[in-house]
Structure 1
Amino acid sequence: MRAFADLLDRLVFTRSRNAKLRLIGDYLRATPDPDRGWAMAALTGDLDLPAVKPAVIRTLISERTDPVLFAMSREFVGDTAETVALLWPENPAARTSNAEALTVAQVIDRLATLGRAEAPAALADMLDRLEPDERYALLKLATGGLRVGVSARLAKTALAQGFGLDVDAVEEVWHGLKPPYAALFAWAEGRGEQPSAANVPVFRPFMLAHPLEDLRIDLADYVAEWKWDGIRVQLVHVAGQTRLYSRAGEDITASFPEVAAAFTTPCVLDGELLVKGEAQGGSIGEGEGAASFNALQQRLGRKVVSRKMLDEFPAFVRLYDMLFDAGTDLREQPWHRRRAALEALMPRLDADRFDLSRVIDAEHFDALTTIRAGARDSAIEGVMLKRRDSPYVAGRRVGLWYKWKRDPLVADCVMMYAQRGSGKRSSFYSDYTFGCWSEDGELLPVGKAYSGFTDEELKWLDRFVRNHTQNRFGPVREVEKSLVLEVAFDSIHESKRHKSGLAMRFPRISRIRHDKPAAEADRIDTLRRMIG
């Protein structure tokens, strides 16, 4: 645990991407199997220890220290694992009687084999044996929430660079392997063959787009498609097995069984997972029939889907691209050839679950600009521009694909509540709940945002919260209803889960309205007219 704790500590205080890559690479080269494999699983989010939940940790610390002290410390620190690691009472006797140092593998093996009844005592025993920074590392392992500024892609890049591998080759085989990745490290060190993804329904990294910003695109070289507001998915059917993967590579097959059951053609496709709109009936019409993201949200994260849910929120996939046709890899072929292959495939797919994302008919860029400006369909997020000769390559490559999001909607809202952030923002009130006025003059919450402001604006907002607090509800502060925030958001939808009846999509703070009285902030009816 010592080496892993040191790694986490250094990653937390390192901002440079290249420095983080070196830290992880050095750790992986110096650390033996299986510890380094389990560390990679933790860094990439592939570690799951269901016997340890945050409630267990809170119970353990409340039995060993004053609960009020813990609550106050947790609010100040902003992280449960760090708070518990610092407050946990020292136990020299436990360290003396267990002279052998704990390894990452020992921790994983023990916690993975215990039920929820035995896990608390085992976790407490291990915490007794460790130093504070090692306790922090243990708790982060146990709960799966590292938050050390390392994405799964960055961890895989560090592994690739550390051993002289191609990161796309690592990504290609990653989802066909299981922690602690012994075969992967054997290949990395030249002791084994490269793992194969043949006949396994593995995830391939998505091709991504750069923001268009101020560029003008020649439509002789680029094709335009709508950017749909669902979730990007990859459909894989290999050797009789079907998988649906999210953009992060998470297996979401069980959440959308009707789509998986309908996909039986050996190939790999890229598309947007959507829910059918109210006007949808029978098969899906090209470019039509998609409900808002709010409808899709009812299905996300559900491991068991009821018949009622399937009937009320039927899912389908609007297809963008084709990566494999049976065993033939199409990714090196230009977009126009992959598109032709996808169009030829469409008659073989279930028309009730799959349709084709249509190409926007625009003669030139100015015409496309006009078309985009008029698009306020709740399921449309913007426009995608793809080079007609572009191969399908992992990640973002300059000049190949661009995303041109539609202009955001804006509303003037009143700050109502604030909460501390996490990680680097744990000392600041950086999460803000805001509302608009009802017809009866009641301020109702319409959204929550924690981005869009500068560091200087964050400091100003934090001071405002501290100086204008009226009530406290655990970690949440209710503030004086006097500050107006201009909030930008992509769309707004009806929602039964919120008292206002509305929910914003991707809200962010675009401006602090020092000049505007709270009484002149927008009303719920104004936001309601923005739906659709």
Structure 2
Amino acid sequence: MMLSQLVSTTEEVAATSSRLAKIDALARLLVQADADEIAPLTGLLLATPRQGRLGVGWRGMSALEVSHADASTLAITDVDQAFERLAAASGTGSASVRSSTLQALAARATALEWDFLTRAMLGELRTGALGGVLLDAIARASDRPVPAVRRAAMLSGDLGETALIALTGSAESLDEVGLRVGRPVLPMLAATAATPTDALGITGEASVEYKLDGARIQVHRHGDEVSVYTRSLADITHRVPELVEIVRALPAHDLILDGETLALDEDGGPRPFQETMSRFGADAARELALRPWFFDLLHVDGRDLIDEPLGVRLAELDRVAGPWRIPGTVTADAEAAERVSHDALAAGHEGIVAKAIDSPYAAGRRGKSWVKVKPVLTYDLVVLAAEWGSGRRQGLLSNLHLGALDPAGEFGEPGALVMVGKTFKGLTDELLRWQTATFPTLETRRTQGTVFLRPELVVEIAIDGVQRSPRYPGGIALRFARVKGYRPDKAPGEADTIQTLRSLLRE
């Protein structure tokens, strides 16, 4: 299969808001793929190459100077082989290998293909081909039941492998995919509610637990062999030896545990999320110890528990990992849930998660059995610039550059605006059209992809918090920023300050 077929399909998918049309387009593409193309194709569609980390970043990509091909000659297998070379490059000379590989790949690609590959490699491909849509497309292309494909994907943790089995194997081979110690499964996800009372209204009797501002982990143990995986199923075992030792000491032979980990400060409070995540970096110092909190048990000593009610799983979790359980209580009482939420927030955590006590473990799914509650923080910030959108947002000004006021001049001139992040989330079609019509009237300059504005527009932004970041001059970046709405009643001088945002950092 040619790369151009994939690129044209992703453009078709991005151009429609119809889920059924997206599924149909992707299914037509999948049925044309040979067996050795299915996994690479799936990885490209999800902007998660099957090789994992390729060792390339935006700086290296933007530094390339190359003329692109006029005609399409690249096959999916050509791209996959180039990705293999990128992922395998290590040690002395690896930078040169990656650079030459990227140069060769860029030269063979058309400008349109290279734009696609760049975004796929950097994880910035927004086509609307999310996992759920692609999963349904796999089911349609293979003529297999959606529940069978979904369960196989959940338990294998690999949509590419699932697609290969569904499209080339028998119905029985798809059904044979099961839970296996040492192979991570997709984590169960939570819906959201505004208050603990609302959450219990959805779940009924629930295990109401602290929601930590940590990193999701899944830990597998077979005898003395322990493996630790991230939310995205990356293996980080070698980076977290303290977690390995804790699980190795538990009274069981085989385990699959679900939980969170974070670092604590001297007073036992949670350190900032950024510091926890720094431990997952290859070159991070080991002085910062991580502590696990487990909240689910999927397998113990030959017994799969994912289809058992949560109450059964928690009883087994208490038995094998009681000292490492996440704080919480089982209740159907709204006042009790509110108290747990108050205690969690007072301890410096994000909020709570209410989990229906009779629910099975739905790997990879966001249903109503788990419901999280976090306080919403909103701030008034100033729009500094906007980037042109892609896909459905082609031709529309979308991704906003956001600035906070610096009245004290700690990061520049007193009264200047300090950039603290970007977001395209929360923008309705109406707002996108308004921005595209309005922003050019405020334009000060532009580059190929960005229009810079006079700082006159204030927008209300909801965030989950901030994290330390060297990317922006104020040393912080917004977490999960989304647009609530514009504030024409406010002037830029009334925007929130960089000092206010920095105070969200837990020292």
TM-score, shorter chain, exceeding 0.5: yes
Asked if the contact 1:415–1:435 (Cα under 8 Å) also holds between the matched residues in 2, the reply is no
| Partner SS for 1:290 | coil
Instruction: Say whether the 8 Å CA contact 2:418–2:498 is kept in structure 1.
Output: no
Match of 2:392 in 1: 424
What does 1:322-341 correspond to in 2, within 5 Å? 322-341=297-316
Matches within 5 A, 1:41-440: 41-44=43-46, 45-48=48-51, 50=54, 62-64=65-67, 88=68, 90=70, 103-109=75-81, 112=84, 115-116=97-98, 119=101, 122-123=104-105, 126-127=108-109, 146-163=125-142, 164-165=144-145, 166-172=148-154, 174-175=156-157, 185-188=167-170, 201-212=182-193, 215=198, 217=200, 221-238=205-222, 240-264=224-248, 266-280=254-268, 289-300=269-280, 302-305=281-284, 309-311=285-287, 313-346=288-321, 355-360=324-329, 364-369=333-338, 372=341, 376-377=345-346, 379-396=348-365, 398-406=367-375, 408-427=376-395, 428-440=397-409
Distance 1:14 1:185 in 2: 25
Counterpart pick for 1:513 among 472, 475, 487: 487
Q: Which amino acid aligns with 2:50?
A: L
The corresponding residue for 2:92 is none
CA–CA distance in structure 1, aligned partners of residues 236 and 505 of structure 2: 29
Secondary structure of 1:436's match?
Answer: strand
Cα distance change, pair 359–391 in 1 and its aligned pair in 2 (3 A): same
Q: Distance in 1 between matches of 2:354 and 2:479?
A: 23
In the alignment, the residues of structure 2 paired with residue 506 and residue 52 of structure 1 have an alpha-carbon distance, to the nearest angstrom, of: 24
Instruction: Provide the rounded CA distance (Å) in 1 between the counterparts of 2:460 and 2:12.
Output: 37
Listed one character per residue, the Cα deviations across residues 82-113 of structure 1 (whole Å, up to 9, x for unaligned) are xxxxxx4637xxx9xxxxx7642244346645
SS at match of 1:515: coil
CA contact (8 A) 2:264 2:271 kept: yes
User: Amino acid of the residue matched to residue 419 of structure 1?
Assistant: E
Distance 1:519 1:454 in 2: 26
Q: Over residues 337-391 of structure 1, what are the superposed CA-to-partner deviations in whole Å (9 max), with x where a residue is unaligned?
A: 11111111126xxx6xxx2111148772145346536754474222211111111
The amino acid that maps onto 1:514 is: P
SS at match of 1:439: coil
- Partners of 1:142 and 1:250 in 2: CA distance: 16
CA contact (8 A) 2:341 2:351 kept: yes
**2-side partners of 1:138 and 1:527: how far apart?**
36
Q: SS where residue 260 of structure 1 aligns? A: helix
Aligned mates of 1:138, 1:531 — CA distance in 2: 36
Task: Quote the Cα distance in structure 2 between the aligned partners of 1:371 and 1:117.
Answer: 52
- C-alpha distance in 1, partners of 2:283/2:127? 32
Q: How many residues align?
A: 476
**Amino acid across the alignment from 2:373:** W
Secondary structure, in 3 states, of the residue corresponding to 1:209?
strand
Compared with structure 1, are the counterparts of its residues 430 and 55 closer, same or farther at alpha carbon in structure 2 (3 Å cutoff)?
Answer: closer
Distance 1:479 1:400 in 2: 45
- Normalising by structure 1, report the TM-score: 0.75
Judged with a 3 Å threshold, the aligned counterparts in structure 2 of structure 1 residues 318 and 375 are, in CA distance, closer, same or farther, namely closer
In the alignment, the residues of structure 2 paired with residue 257 and residue 230 of structure 1 have an alpha-carbon distance, to the nearest angstrom, of 17
Q: Counterpart of 1:159 in structure 2: which amino acid?
A: I
CA distance in 1, matches of 2:358, 2:315: 13
Aligned identity (percent) is: 24
Equivalent in the alignment of 1:480: 454
- The code of the aligned residue for 1:516 comes to K
Contact 2:463–2:479, Cα closer than 8 Å, also in 1 = yes
Displacement of 1:206 in angstroms is: 2.0
Whether the 8 Å CA contact 2:66–2:103 is kept in 1: the answer is no
Cα distance in structure 1, aligned partners of 2:246 and 2:494: 52
Q: Secondary structure at the match of 1:481?
A: coil
Q: 1:224 and 1:170 mapped to 2: Cα distance? A: 29
Structure 1: runs of 5+ lacking an equivalent:
65-87, 96-100, 281-288
Letter of the 1:383 counterpart: I
Closer, same or farther: CA 417–374 of 1 in aligned 2, 3 Å: farther
For structure 2, which runs of at least 5 residues remain unmatched after alignment? 87-96
**TM-score scaled to structure 2, two decimals?**
0.78
Q: 2:272 is matched by which residue type in structure 1?
A: S
TM-aligned CA deviation for residue 403 of structure 1: 1.8
